[in-house]
Amino acid sequence: MQVFLQTFIGGVSLGAIYALVALGFSLVFRTMGLVNFSHGNVVMIGAYIASTFYLTVKLPFALAMVVALAITGLIGVFIERVLRPLENKDFDLMLIGTIGFGIVLEALAIIIWGATGRAVPNPVAVAPIEIAGLRIRTYDLVVLAIAAAATALLVYFLQVTKRGAAMQAVAMDHEAATAVGIHVGRSNAIAFMLGAALAALAGGLVGPLLYVSPAMGGTLGIKGFAAAILGGFGSIPGAIVGGLAIGVLDSFAAGHFQGYSELVTFLVFTVLIMVRPMGIFGEKTVNRA
């Protein structure tokens, strides 16, 4: 039982990272009806920026994270601004554009930081907490707390603020939103900015848990994408539940199947999607193709 609970706790911590990645995917899709295939690479860029300011510039980890969020948020705005002329004109080219941005970001990461990657030490110098024989890493609790706070702030922004309400209106009917004076381009830019910031948050937090490398964007992007699909693409609660589910599944698969863990994780994911194609919280979403 202790091994089970230990594995579960580790899976929840990693699942919180996947949930943040899935939230970024879902936010952009919910607002624009677009899957941002460069999202995983933005996660990787966020991880590199946070680790650079933490390890090289010697900023406190929290401040390095803030810098990473700001820079990647601007990257998200830049991507949206380049793609904006294609909005409602050539949806397929927009998708290809996001793939192209992902390739460019990975190439830039290799040019700037190299292809070997780096290890990020645990920024929380506190001994693990022991409860009933379980050893819980303090950093895991920090990750869960930050992810929960970020999710709460995102929900508050979308449900309470005027700008969030405007983004919801754009998601439901961009033509009607334009007719009542909502700036659709600005709402889309904010969606990309927040999505990129969530990606940077996930990347910065996962640095001490995994090895930061140019290839990590592909792994985290695929699992975050799978989490968003499992939860119901475009659903905020679905992204959270899907992320936690993928994280726990990944943790147990790694403990029992080792080298075949990725295969087992996605086999189970495939079965779940066959049973529930729309995802756990599946809902009708915008389609502008």
- Tell the residue number behind the tokens 């700008």, with chain if given: 163
As a whole number of angstroms, the distance between CA 191 and CA 95 comes to 16
Average pLDDT for the chain: 87
* Mean pLDDT, residues 206-214: 91
Of 8-17, 27-36, 170-179, least confident by mean pLDDT is 170-179
As a whole number of angstroms, the distance between CA 213 and CA 220 comes to 11
Neighbour count for residue 64 (Cβ, 10 Å): 23
As a whole number of angstroms, the distance between CA 100 and CA 84 comes to 15
- Tell the residue number behind the tokens 């998200």, with chain if given: 76
As a whole number of angstroms, the distance between CA 261 and CA 146 comes to 27
* Mean pLDDT, residues 110-117: 91
* Mean pLDDT, residues 239-265: 86
Q: Which of 212, 285, 223 is CA-nearest to residue 22?
A: 223
As a whole number of angstroms, the distance between CA 284 and CA 17 comes to 26
Sorted by sequence, the CB contacts under 8 Å of residue 96 that are 6+ apart come out as: none
Pick the CATH number of 2-114+133-275 from 3.55.50, 1.10.3470, 1.10.3210, 3.40.50: 1.10.3470
Tell me the H-state helices in 216-260: 216-231, 236-257
Q: What distances in angstroms separate CA 155 from CA 87, 191, 206, one per listed residue?
A: 26, 13, 22
Sorted by sequence, the CB contacts under 8 Å of residue 168 that are 6+ apart come out as: 158
As a whole number of angstroms, the distance between CA 13 and CA 35 comes to 25
Classify 118 in phi/psi space as left (phi over 0), alpha (psi -120 to 50) or beta: beta
Contact 217, 43 (CB under 8 A): yes
Q: What pLDDT score was predicted for residue 154?
A: 92
Neighbour count for residue 10 (Cβ, 10 Å): 21
- pLDDT surpassing 90 at residue 233: no
Q: What is the pLDDT of residues 167-182, one digit of tens each?
A: 877 777 777 777 777 7
What ranges do the domains of the chain cover? 2-114+133-275
Q: What pLDDT score was predicted for residue 24?
A: 93
